Amino acid sequence: MSSEIVLQSAGPDRSRVAFYGGSFDPVHLGHIAIGEALVSQFALDQFVFLPAFHAPHKKRTAPTSAYDRYAMLCLATAEMPDISVSKIEIEMPERPYSVETLSRLRSEMPDTELFFVMGGDSWADITTWREWETVLSLTNHIVVTRPGYEVGIEHVTDDVRSRIVDLRGAGTFHLSTAGEESSDPRIYFTDAVNMDISASRVRQKIRDGDVEWKHDLPAVVANYIEKYQIYS
């Protein structure tokens, strides 16, 4: 791999916004680190957390109240001007699929270069998503890898593989205004965040009475969880 990777600029008349979908049950320091790192790495104008009312492709029981998860995200990002939280999915309790949400975002933000952020586990399951190839064609995507987890590409089509840009281990990464922007959305693999924290492990620590769970969350979120006994 070349030591220098260039990402095409969005141009002077277009803003660049990334949406990070998920349950965020609860939001933890790894999620926040992803937002901060991608704002810098992709020169984003805004990074938006997009909590789901209930992710339709997930089989586990219903998550914590969407309103508690939204409140925790707002508390965690209150002092971050480049990071915000959207209510568009939690206000649609019919559980919209990602293809519907991204189509809506494209319609409402036609002059914005959009990115959709997912973790390596979601990428591994991408072919189980409704109209997954359409999902990958609606916006650029950013796949954030976790330490110790292999990210495969064998499960996707040749067309999708041809649009993958691997930024992991890139020595230099910057924007360029030269040339024309590609018409095909890209899928970027990045290891910009080297943190191995999972929401499921945080919930388990709380249930087990392991006080170490507080170290994995912003202090304001930990206080909220304790005050309202979210996982007790």
Task: Confirm if 70 and 202 have CB atoms less than 8 A apart.
Answer: no
CA distances, 37 to each of 32, 42, 168, 204 (Å): 9, 8, 13, 27
What's the Rg (C-alpha) of the chain?
18
CA distance 89 to 96: 7
What are the pLDDT digits (tens) for 17-27? 999 999 999 99
Q: Within a 10 A sphere around the Cβ of 220, how many other Cβ atoms? A: 15
Q: How far apart are CA 7 and CA 176, in angstroms?
A: 6
Q: What is the mean pLDDT of residues 185-205?
A: 93
Pairing outcome for strands 172-176 and 4-8: parallel
75 Cβ neighbours under 8 A, 6+ residues apart: 218, 220, 221, 224
User: Domain spans of the chain?
Assistant: 4-196
Residue 3's contacts (CB-CB under 8 Å, 6 or more residues apart) are 170, 171, 172
Has residue 10 got a pLDDT over 70?
A: no
- C-alpha pair distances (Å), 199 with each of 3, 108, 125, 169: 34, 31, 18, 26
Please calculate the CA angle 106-90-58 and round it to the nearest 5 degrees.
90
pLDDT tens, position by position, 53-65: 875 545 556 679 9
**Which SS3 state, helix, strand or coil, does residue 95 take?**
coil
Evaluate if residue 5 carries a pLDDT over 50. Answer: no
pLDDT higher at 11 or 125: 125
CATH 3.40.50.620 fits 4-196, yes or no: yes
Query: pLDDT digits over 100-147, tens only?
Result: 999 999 999 999 999 999 999 899 999 999 999 999 999 999 999 977
Strand order, beta sheet including 83-85: 83-85, 46-51, 15-22, 112-119, 140-144, 187-190, 164-166
CA distances from 64 to 22, 90, 121, 216 (A): 12, 12, 20, 18
